[in-house]
Amino acid sequence: MYEEVALGKLLPHPQNANKLSRMFAKKLKCNIDELGKYETLTVRRHPSARGSFQVLNGHAPLAVLQDLNVSKAKCDIWDVSDSQARLFLAILNRLRGSDVPELRMSLLLGLLQERSEKDLSAHVPETASNLTKLARLPEEVGREDIRKPTHRPDVIIVDFYLNPEQHRTVMAALDKICTEFGLNDSSEALTRMAELFLQRPRTRAT
């Protein structure tokens, strides 16, 4: 059971390490603004600010609610120590499941029957360009086949772990390739980069 707490009494934990990108924050705001629903914030009574609460989970929704000028937020109030609070901060945004690609694609295809690619992209992590590609898959693969959970369409989700400098370098290269070759998104640019590498003359190692 949650309680509604005035936003002015909700203070972020100073050691919160989970930050939402500007793009995802915009999508989250769009969802909360349209649906009026959000994941209940997890808080504890503030250890030093009397009458206030310290946020353990839900920093991003809190920022959105403040931006939308909402007066109160739904909160689950936990009775935890400083040490337990730090532990929750370390795990609450990390112990998450991952999407099964086939099932997510089926879900998105269903949503694309109700919304345009541009509209849906304002709410989900995928870009409008990626959703347009997804919308074309049933025609390319076969509408009935792609909706079967056992079918594995020719779409692969790849994760890379980069430090900030590596990320800047990769994104700068992908942006440059998109511009030079007139491509629509980073997935096309990454493929083009790989093709250029594979096509280059082989040099003998010395």
> Could you read off the pLDDT of 128-169 as tens digits, one per residue?
888 887 887 766 544 444 445 444 444 565 667 778 888 889
When pLDDT is averaged across residues 89-99 and rounded to a whole number, the result is 67
When pLDDT is averaged across residues 61-86 and rounded to a whole number, the result is 93
Can you give the pLDDT at residue 94? 63
Mean pLDDT of the chain: 82
Which of 187 and 138 is assigned the larger pLDDT? Answer: 187
Q: Is the pLDDT of residue 110 over 90?
A: no
Can you give the pLDDT at residue 97? 59
pTM above 0.85, yes or no: no
Can you give the pLDDT at residue 140? 53
Q: Is the pLDDT of residue 62 over 60?
A: yes
Q: How confident is the model at residue 43 (pLDDT cuts 50, 70, 90)?
A: very high
Can you give the pLDDT at residue 121? 85
Can you give the pLDDT at residue 154? 47
Q: What's the rounded Cα separation, in Å, for the pair 41 and 56?
A: 8
